[in-house]
Amino acid sequence: MKYFKINILIGFIFIIIGGCGGAKAEKTVKDPKVLDDSKSVIALFIKDNGYELTAHEKSPENINEVFEIIKKDDISRFGAASKYVESLTGADSLYLRGMFDLSYGGLQQIAAYTLKDKGNKKLAEANRLAAMELSGFELDSNQLQSKKEFEEESKKITEVEAALEKVSYEKIISGFNLANEMVRLYPEDSRGFVLRAYANRLKRDWSGFSEAISKAERLDKNGDENIRYQRIMEKLQRFRLKNEAEEDLIALRDELPKRVRIQAILVLNAREIEESHNELSKLRDVSPNHLIVQLLGKTIDQEYEIFQSLNKAKEGDIDPSDSDSGIVSDTETSTDTATDSPSEQ
């Protein structure tokens, strides 16, 4: 029996947001206070994990620097870079503004559904211990403490997940509206359709995605790497061709090592804790303050430490009671028994 299989299929971690692929603008969250409160919840969670969600106000000096910020997934500079491109005119401005919104929103969306999975695991452990109590089993002090911690952590994660969903929705719809504006004004520019395909993928509108990405491919004359990336993610999310998509992601990462988002996806796509921790180490090497590191690094580290302790206990090197925090293998299931993805609920 295996310990700690992580249920992080990327198809399981994207939110369904209603909408179509047409040119009609969609409304975002109306109440600014809701967004501010959500951002505060996220910032506090990141601070509790030992990081600071800070923004660097240094403006890029040229378009090439803007593209580098996007490739590096450097969200600390997204705000300043977005302001810089707003001062530009034409298709470049619309494209880059849309890319900032969709890149940020997509990253927040990934984090939300990964945290949801982890929160469900912690809640399941708290419920397991509670069921033991109800059955008449007397929990020892370590088990009682674990039960309390699992309940508190689950509640905290649920709050952060909800906050991430709100702020990601705002960014995704903003990016979607910018994509439609670019398609309207520059119908022969393939990048507008790349943006629309990106937004529709995040919104789980596969009909709109297919239409937009096919149009982008017909118009593209430069072998746009973003089209390749969107097609790989379609394999992963829409068609569930995990192994094939993972091979394509690794090949694309090796070809484009500066595209940090690819490495972040590989962290979240890992099914085994060892694989997840290994990919996390690679992400830290290229982007030590990446949002995925800030939100999930501490949890993955803790799971990996417990995994190692359990393995040592299994081999007879240590007493399992010295390291077992209450997590057992029954809830660390494979992806075959994971909670259904949002698209299947």
Using DSSP, state whether 5 is helix, strand or coil: strand
The 10 Å CB-count burial string (b at 16+, else e) for 52-70 is: ebeeeeeebeeeeebeebb
Give pLDDT tens digits for 101-114: 999 999 999 899 88
Residues 177-197: what's their mean pLDDT? 98
- What is the residue whose two structure tokens read 């009682």? 144
pLDDT confidence of residue 1 = 44
pLDDT at 58: 87
Mean pLDDT of the chain: 85
pLDDT at 30 over 50: yes
What tokens were used for 170?
A: 């705002």
Q: Which residue matches tokens 């967004």?
A: 35
pTM of the predicted protein model: 0.82
Q: Which residues contact 310 (CB under 8 A, 6 or more apart)?
A: 3, 4, 320, 323, 324
Tens-digit pLDDT profile for residues 112-155: 988 998 899 899 999 999 999 999 999 999 999 999 999 999 99
Taking only the tens place, the pLDDT of each residue in 232-262 is: 999 999 999 999 999 999 999 999 999 999 9
Separation CA 210–CA 196 (nearest Å):
10
How far is Cα 247 from Cα 133, in angstroms, rounded to an integer?
46
Residues 6+ apart with CB under 8 A from 265: 10, 110, 233, 249
pLDDT at 28 exceeding the cut of 80:
no
Q: pLDDT at position 310, please? A: 86
Who contacts 313 (Cβ-Cβ below 8 Å, separation ≥6)?
319, 320, 322, 323, 324
CA angle (23, 225, 253) in 5-degree steps: 130
Instruction: Give the position of tokens 């595209």.
Output: 259
Side-chain-facing half-sphere of 257: CA atoms under 13 Å: 4
